[in-house]
Amino acid sequence: MSNGFWDKLEKPFFVLAPMADVTDAAFRRMFAKYGKPDVTWTEFVSADGLCSLGREALLRDLMYSKEERPIVAQIFGSRPENIERVASLIADLGFDGIDINMGCPDRSIEKQGAGAAMIKNPKLAQEVILAVKQGSKGLPVSVKTRVGYNQIEIDEWIPKILETKPAALTIHARTRKEMSDVPARWEHVREVVHMAKGTGVLIIGNGDVADMKDARQRVMESGADGAMIGRSVFGNPWYFNESIDHLAIPLEERFRVMLEHTRLFLELLGDVKNFAVMKKHYKAYVNGFDGAKELRIQLMGAETIEDIEAYVANFLSKHSIATKGNGAV
């Protein structure tokens, strides 16, 4: 069976991690424009929710643009019948692939038997993967998980996933118990790479990647086919663009892009998401320069785009930083 776009990727490849309340449509479009990853993931979406009366609101999480391709929709759930229905919906929406979250440690997700709870129920995990395949109308199916629940369970857990032959398997190199509180151990990614040899399943390492140089080093040392990057991309839509010096991007350009991101968020999601969602991004955009702390404090208290624009313009004026074009940031 064809693995769709996965078969066409040059190795190593580098992908944008799915992150709740982060990788929304606005965030992803910024990366598609300034530093495109090889593959993009949506935020994870509840399969049960997509089968409920709340479906219309959740469909906004599956909004995407053609510039983001190849784009993978990530879902979670523990009811194979709902998972199969949602896989069919995702195929109809034109996505390039479907990914199943089997690693999220959020307690509310685990109470549903989903996310990292799947590690404790390999039989159900297999049923879920096969249900997605059944409903996917030929789209490639992938899985994202961890190396264990309370302890390392690679030998027991990973073969159960590999038996279902997903197109790709992303390994977060920590257990559920460890959350993100300890350093990721990429030697476990290497173990999974050896385990998957000959299966045709692509292995993607995930955890603590600092930058693209670090990503390439970790992939080389582990033998993984690619790396998935999450937290270190914050405030840096240029992240995957290796042709530019990220440290040399002028401050005025960073602010311009931050404001572009804000306007896009309001345009696409302002009616369904709280403006406070943007503030985690301001913490990352406004960092590492004189006066950053004071400006961050102002932005954290802002309630409108006009506030944000005024604070940025005032900062640039106060610090005598010239702006390009017509003077607008």
Q: Tell me the mean pLDDT in the region 319-327.
A: 52
pLDDT at 55: 87
pLDDT at 220: 98
Selecting among 15, 104, 158, 171, the annotated active-site residue is 104
What is the domain partition of the chain in residue ranges?
4-233, 250-318
Q: Tell me the mean pLDDT in the region 194-217.
A: 97
Q: Write the CB contacts of 145 (distance below 8 Å, at least 6 apart in sequence).
A: 102, 103, 116, 118, 119, 157, 161, 169, 170, 171, 172
Q: Is the pLDDT of residue 28 over 90?
A: yes
Annotation says 104 is catalytic = yes
For residue 197, how many other CB atoms are within 10 A of its CB?
11
CATH architecture of the domain covering 4-233: Alpha-Beta Barrel (3.20)
pLDDT at 327: 36
Confidence of residue 239 (pLDDT cuts 50, 70, 90): very high
Q: Write the CB contacts of 181 (distance below 8 Å, at least 6 apart in sequence).
A: none
For the residues of 270-309, what is the DSSP string, one character each? TTTS-GGGGHHHHHHHS-SSTTHHHHHHHHHH--SHHHHH
The pLDDT tens digits for 292-314 are: 999 999 999 999 999 999 999 99
Distances (CA, A) of 222 to 54, 103, 188: 42, 20, 8
Q: Is the pLDDT of residue 136 over 60?
A: yes
Distances (CA, A) of 89 to 1, 75, 148: 21, 12, 31
The pLDDT tens digits for 40-74 are: 999 999 999 999 988 888 999 999 999 999 999 99
Q: Is the pLDDT of residue 178 over 80?
A: yes
pLDDT at 1: 59
Q: Is the pLDDT of residue 323 over 50?
A: no
